[in-house]
Amino acid sequence: MELSQILVDHLTFAYEGSFDNIFEDISFSVDTNWKLGFLGRNGKGKTTFLNLLLGKYEYSGSITASAAFDYFPYPVTQEQMQFPAVDLLEQWKAGCELWRVLVELDQLRENAEILYRPLRTLSPGERTKIMLAVLFSGENDFLLIDEPTNHLDQESRENVKVYLVSKKGFILVSHDRDLLDACTDHVLVLNRKSLDVQNGNFSVWWENKQRRDQFVRAENEKHIKEIGKLKQSAAQKAQWADRNERTKIGFDPVKEHDRSKGTRAYIGAKTKKLQSRVSQMQKRIRREIEEKEGLLADLEEPMDLKLMPLCHHKERLIHVRELTAAYEGAVRPVFSDLTFDLMQGERVALHGENGSGKSTLIKLILQKAGMGAEVQGMRTLSGRQRSGADAGLPAAVSGVCETAAGLVISYVNQDTSLLTGSIQAFCRTRGLDESLFCAVLRQLDMERVQFLKNMEDYSEGQKKKVLIAASLLTPAHVYIWDEPLNYIDVFSRMQIEKLLLACRPTMLFVEHDVRFREQIATKTVVL
Residue 9 has a pLDDT of 92
Residue 307 has a pLDDT of 78
Q: Enter the pTM of the model.
A: 0.68
More confident residue, 372 or 300: 300
* Cα 32 to Cα 143: distance, rounded to the nearest angstrom: 9
What strands lie across the sheet with 5-13, from one edge to the other?
A: 23-31, 5-13, 60-65
Amino acid (1-letter code) at residue 189: V
Residue 91 has a pLDDT of 92
Domain 5-208: CATH class, spelled out? alpha beta
Residue 376 has a pLDDT of 26
Q: What is the chain's mean pLDDT, rounded? A: 81
Residue 367 has a pLDDT of 87
Q: How confident is the model at residue 257 (pLDDT cuts 50, 70, 90)?
A: low
SS (H, E, C) 91-159: HHCCCCCHHHHHHHHHHCCCCHHHHHCEHHHCCHHHHHHHHHHHHCCCCCEEEEEECCCCCCCHHHHHH
| Mean pLDDT, residues 43-55 | 86
Residue 192 has a pLDDT of 66
Within 13 Å, how many C-alpha atoms sit on residue 338's CB side?
A: 31
Cα–Cα distances in Å, from 224 out to 219, 281, 285, 293, 294? 9, 15, 10, 11, 13
Residue 261 has a pLDDT of 54
* CB-based contact 472:305 (threshold 8 Å): yes
- pLDDT over 90 for what percent of the chain? 23
Residue 374 has pLDDT above 60, yes or no: no
316-526 matches 5-208 in CATH topology: yes
Within 13 Å, how many C-alpha atoms sit on residue 89's CB side?
A: 18
Residue 259 has a pLDDT of 55
Residue 3 has a pLDDT of 57
Q: pLDDT digits over 375-384, tens only? A: 222 233 333 3
Residue 253 has pLDDT above 60, yes or no: no
| Residue 350 dihedral angles phi and psi, to the nearest 5° | -90, 125
Q: pLDDT digits over 448-494, tens only? A: 888 888 898 888 888 999 999 999 888 899 999 998 888 888 888 88
Residue 106 has pLDDT above 60, yes or no: yes
Q: pLDDT digits over 113-152, tens only? A: 989 989 888 877 888 889 999 999 988 789 999 988 877 7
Q: How confident is the model at residue 242 (pLDDT cuts 50, 70, 90)?
A: low
- For residues 420, 422, 427, 429, the Cα torsion angle rounded to the nearest 10 degrees is -50
Residue 198 has pLDDT above 50, yes or no: yes
Q: pLDDT digits over 400-458, tens only? A: 888 998 899 999 988 888 888 999 999 998 888 888 888 888 888 888 888 888 898 88
Q: Name beta bridge partners: 39.
A: 189
Most confident listed range (2-11, 136-145, 187-196, 322-331): 136-145
Residue 36 has a pLDDT of 94
CATH of span 316-526: 3.40.50.300
* CB-based contact 319:400 (threshold 8 Å): yes
Residue 1 has a pLDDT of 42
Q: pLDDT digits over 220-240, tens only? A: 777 777 767 767 766 766 676
Amino acid (1-letter code) at residue 83: F
Provide the 10 A C-beta neighbour count for residue 30: 17
Q: Would strands 195-199 and 523-526 be described as parallel, antiparallel, or unpaired? A: unpaired
Q: pLDDT digits over 310-338, tens only? A: 888 999 999 999 998 888 777 788 888 98
* CB-based contact 206:184 (threshold 8 Å): no
Residue 344 has pLDDT above 60, yes or no: yes
Residue 103 has a pLDDT of 92
| Residue 364 dihedral angles phi and psi, to the nearest 5° | -65, -40
What ranges do the domains of the chain cover?
A: 5-208, 213-296, 316-526
More confident residue, 218 or 255: 218
| Mean pLDDT, residues 23-45 | 87
Residue 289 has a pLDDT of 60
